[in-house]
Chains A and B, each alone.
Chain A
């Protein structure tokens, strides 16, 4: 029995036991459901083994939405606890676990896969390619991410959640202060997902450099593809730091090394330093694709080409470099002198300049445009003012002397939610609404969509603007309760109501999907938004090979120009198409990774060694495997094409 004791939860509560039961029941229901409808074969053939970038994209999307739900429930719990003073809903330990999980899940397992969904689904279509450069690697990326995320998610029912914050600062996260396996989960689950992300970075840089349609020069790529390129570039340079950092943290926790200890020559501050060397670029990895999506959406619905294409690209390139020069603004109060702080203050303020350039470019694009207020455009219109507010408070935080007042208060929490929600989350939802018809062949309902946007902004303002005020009044972040005498109570109640309204707006989004599945018209054609870029030039649903004939590109908005001037982008006749084969290996290897991670977390060494050998076995097998892909014959392509054209 001793062996099994380690899987028990150190700080049990009724809520956790209830979720255990819920997880068990859902698991059984899913397995029974798939068996009953005889879908195992379909699942394996069409999804688990696929290397098609569109399907991988959709799996990223589903994961992201699930994680949004998980992180959202956490958020509501946090706000409920703080809604009234001296609340007893969550104890301090449980509160710590919930905010840690909320942060990690939202950034790494919600926002990251959401942008991966857009990279996967949109980029190859936008540049006129048939898949990514390394389709098999792409599947490995997804499954590693997925297994990492699942590993992290079971922590609260097996062994205990991490509780040292999403930043997991040492010495708190070290063995002395975090005695449960929680922080092992943090180190190893994020490591596994992070390796997947790094591979995605390499994959998409190569794809964008090497697989563009004939004629498409770099300076003619659609803006979203540009943002994806820059974002992946930052991934490739930032994620190795995370990999090394987590490896060092793992060794400190499992093998008693002394990288981040207080004594014995270690330095706990080194963790904070390296964490933000990765962490700051990470926030730009998230926001740049969001900018890219808004660029596409704003130019589509202002019916104008994007103002200042070159300055948009230039500002992203500048951001990609500068995002590596500012990390110390996250710990101005750590004890370094005024010289170091001034340096990082100035670089931080400087990075607001290219961001401002982009805001003006969007405004100039709107200027004299024939604006059409669709749901995605409405998100963009709410994004502009709200995000600007978040940027301005960012510049306030950037002043190192003033940051001594703001740091680690609710003011900071308000800042980053203010950039991440109107920035990243709105872009994700706008993009989801925008690309939904391309994926599934029908539109989401516009009326419900607009209600969602307005509710979400109302909820957002109520939930987060009060935090600026209580933060300035001294309410610290990560405090599980406060007394009546502080006077924080009324505004925290407002914030709770705001969070509730946001929850309602997400529920409305789900209802919208249900409603549109049932009632939306299906005959919408290939280009329902009258858009400008290549992804709208191919059929809906997009055939496996994306484009029967490779598009010929002469301008930034190839498809728009083709529509306006009537020239043909698909010249030439249909030839057989070479496509990659599906493979079960990525899925199997990632499952072994899961087992490996799990046994590392619980220090079950024999199993760790066996699964490590299994991973190596997969790698060796792959090296000797002969896989030349397959050809789709011309007749089959012609068949598909006529069928898709007929469906129009």
Chain B
């Protein structure tokens, strides 16, 4: 019975509900913009990672190397795009 019970998925589900609740706090509590956006960014990325690993099963097959390198590559491209754009439009305009 123990082997059949998807404990990882249930825990993941609970955790993702908690993350959602924390993100909602930003709306209901009165906090500074910086604090709010930090919480939102953090909860969003943890949530995305959680979905990817727990519910989309990244890392459970033998091609996990390919999957994770793709994810890392995507993150790299996104970061470069965002910071490059900031450089062009804010820091050096």
Shortest CB–CB separation between residue A235 and chain B, in angstroms?
12
Interface pair B87/A209, CB less than 8 Å apart: no
Known: A209-B66, A325-B84, A328-B84. A340 touches B92 (CB 8 A): yes
Known: A237-B73, A335-B93, A336-B92. A273 touches B80 (CB 8 A): no
How far, in whole Å, are A525 and B91 apart by their CA atoms in the complex?
64
How far, in whole Å, are A465 and B92 apart by their CA atoms in the complex?
36
> B56: CB under 8 A from chain A?
no
Give residues 206-248 of A contacting B (CB, 8 Å): 209-210, 233, 237, 241
Interface pair A237/B74, CB less than 8 Å apart: yes
**What 0/1 pattern do residues 51 to 83 of B give for CB contact below 8 A with A?**
000000000000100100010011011001100
> B48: CB under 8 A from chain A?
no
> B88: CB under 8 A from chain A?
yes
Interface pair B84/A337, CB less than 8 Å apart: no
> B38: CB under 8 A from chain A?
no
Shortest CB–CB separation between residue A186 and chain B, in angstroms?
23
Interface pair A324/B88, CB less than 8 Å apart: no
> B33: CB under 8 A from chain A?
no
How far, in whole Å, are A237 and B66 apart by their CA atoms in the complex?
15
By beta carbon, the residue of chain B nearest A269 is B89
Interface pair B77/A336, CB less than 8 Å apart: no
Q: Which of A237, A267, A334 has the most CB of B within 10 A?
A: A237
How far, in whole Å, are A210 and B66 apart by their CA atoms in the complex?
11
Interface pair A327/B73, CB less than 8 Å apart: no
By beta carbon, the residue of chain B nearest A324 is B77
Interface pair B81/A336, CB less than 8 Å apart: no
**What 0/1 pattern do residues 304 to 346 of A give for CB contact below 8 A with B?**
0000000000000000010011011000001111111001100
**What 0/1 pattern do residues 29 to 62 of B give for CB contact below 8 A with A?**
0000000000000000000000000000000000
Shortest CB–CB separation between residue B92 and chain A, in angstroms?
4
> A277: CB under 8 A from chain B?
yes
Q: Chain B residues with Cβ under 8 A from A277's Cβ?
A: 81, 85
Shortest CB–CB separation between residue B90 and chain A, in angstroms?
10
How far, in whole Å, are A238 and B73 apart by their CA atoms in the complex?
12
Q: Chain A residues with Cβ under 8 A from B80's Cβ?
A: 324-325
Interface pair B63/A209, CB less than 8 Å apart: yes
Interface pair B73/A321, CB less than 8 Å apart: yes
Q: Chain B residues with Cβ under 8 A from A328's Cβ?
A: 84, 88
- Our pick among A209, A273, A324 for the contact of B89 (Cβ within 8 Å) is A273
Known: A327-B84, A336-B88, A339-B87. A237 touches B93 (CB 8 A): no
Q: Chain B residues with Cβ under 8 A from A321's Cβ?
A: 73, 76-77
Size category of the binding interface on chain A: 20 to 34
By beta carbon, the residue of chain B nearest A267 is B89
Shortest CB–CB separation between residue A587 and chain B, in angstroms?
31
The number of A-B residue pairs with CB atoms under 8 Å apart is 49
Q: Chain B residues with Cβ under 8 A from A209's Cβ?
A: 63, 66
Interface pair B88/A273, CB less than 8 Å apart: yes
Interface pair A337/B89, CB less than 8 Å apart: no
Q: Chain A residues with Cβ under 8 A from B70's Cβ?
A: 233
Interface pair B93/A337, CB less than 8 Å apart: yes
Q: Chain B residues with Cβ under 8 A from A324's Cβ?
A: 77, 80-81
How far, in whole Å, are A336 and B88 apart by their CA atoms in the complex?
6
By beta carbon, the residue of chain A nearest B66 is A209
How far, in whole Å, are A344 and B92 apart by their CA atoms in the complex?
13
How far, in whole Å, are A562 and B21 apart by their CA atoms in the complex?
63
- Our pick among B76, B87, B89 for the contact of A343 (Cβ within 8 Å) is B87
How far, in whole Å, are A594 and B70 apart by their CA atoms in the complex?
33
Interface pair A336/B84, CB less than 8 Å apart: no
Interface pair B88/A340, CB less than 8 Å apart: yes
Q: Chain A residues with Cβ under 8 A from B85's Cβ?
A: 273, 277
- Our pick among A210, A237, A335, A343 for the contact of B77 (Cβ within 8 Å) is A237
Give residues 243-274 of A contacting B (CB, 8 Å): 267, 269-270, 273
How far, in whole Å, are A237 and B69 apart by their CA atoms in the complex?
13
How far, in whole Å, are A269 and B63 apart by their CA atoms in the complex?
41
Interface pair A336/B93, CB less than 8 Å apart: yes
Q: Chain B residues with Cβ under 8 A from A327's Cβ?
A: 84
Shortest CB–CB separation between residue B4 and chain A, in angstroms?
28
Shortest CB–CB separation between residue A641 and chain B, in angstroms?
33
Shortest CB–CB separation between residue A555 and chain B, in angstroms?
23
By beta carbon, the residue of chain B nearest A205 is B70
How far, in whole Å, are A318 and B17 apart by their CA atoms in the complex?
40
Q: Chain B residues with Cβ under 8 A from A269's Cβ?
A: 89
Shortest CB–CB separation between residue B45 and chain A, in angstroms?
18
How far, in whole Å, are A416 and B88 apart by their CA atoms in the complex?
24
Shortest CB–CB separation between residue B5 and chain A, in angstroms?
29
Give residues 273-319 of A contacting B (CB, 8 Å): 273, 277
Shortest CB–CB separation between residue B53 and chain A, in angstroms?
19
Shortest CB–CB separation between residue B17 and chain A, in angstroms?
27
Shortest CB–CB separation between residue A230 and chain B, in angstroms?
11
Q: Chain B residues with Cβ under 8 A from A210's Cβ?
A: 63
Q: Chain A residues with Cβ under 8 A from B88's Cβ?
A: 273, 328, 334, 336, 340
Q: Chain A residues with Cβ under 8 A from B63's Cβ?
A: 209-210
By beta carbon, the residue of chain B nearest A343 is B87
Q: Chain A residues with Cβ under 8 A from B77's Cβ?
A: 237, 321, 324
Q: Chain B residues with Cβ under 8 A from A241's Cβ?
A: 81
Q: Chain A residues with Cβ under 8 A from B91's Cβ?
A: 339-340
Shortest CB–CB separation between residue B86 and chain A, in angstroms?
10
How far, in whole Å, are A241 and B73 apart by their CA atoms in the complex?
15
How far, in whole Å, are A327 and B85 apart by their CA atoms in the complex?
10
Shortest CB–CB separation between residue B77 and chain A, in angstroms?
5
Q: Chain B residues with Cβ under 8 A from A270's Cβ?
A: 89
Shortest CB–CB separation between residue A265 and chain B, in angstroms?
13
How far, in whole Å, are A270 and B70 apart by their CA atoms in the complex?
27
Interface pair A339/B84, CB less than 8 Å apart: no
- Our pick among B73, B74, B87 for the contact of A340 (Cβ within 8 Å) is B87
Q: Which of B66, B74, B88, B92 has the most CB of A within 10 A?
A: B88
Shortest CB–CB separation between residue B88 and chain A, in angstroms?
5
How far, in whole Å, are A52 and B76 apart by their CA atoms in the complex?
36
**What 6 A-B pairs come out closest when comparing CB atoms?**
A337-B92, A340-B92, A336-B88, A339-B92, A324-B77, A340-B87
Extra inter-chain contacts (7) besides given A340-B93, A343-B87, CB under 8 Å: A267-B89, A269-B89, A321-B77, A325-B80, A336-B93, A337-B92, A343-B84
6 residue pairs bridging A and B, Cβ less than 8 Å apart: A209-B66, A237-B73, A277-B81, A277-B85, A328-B88, A334-B88
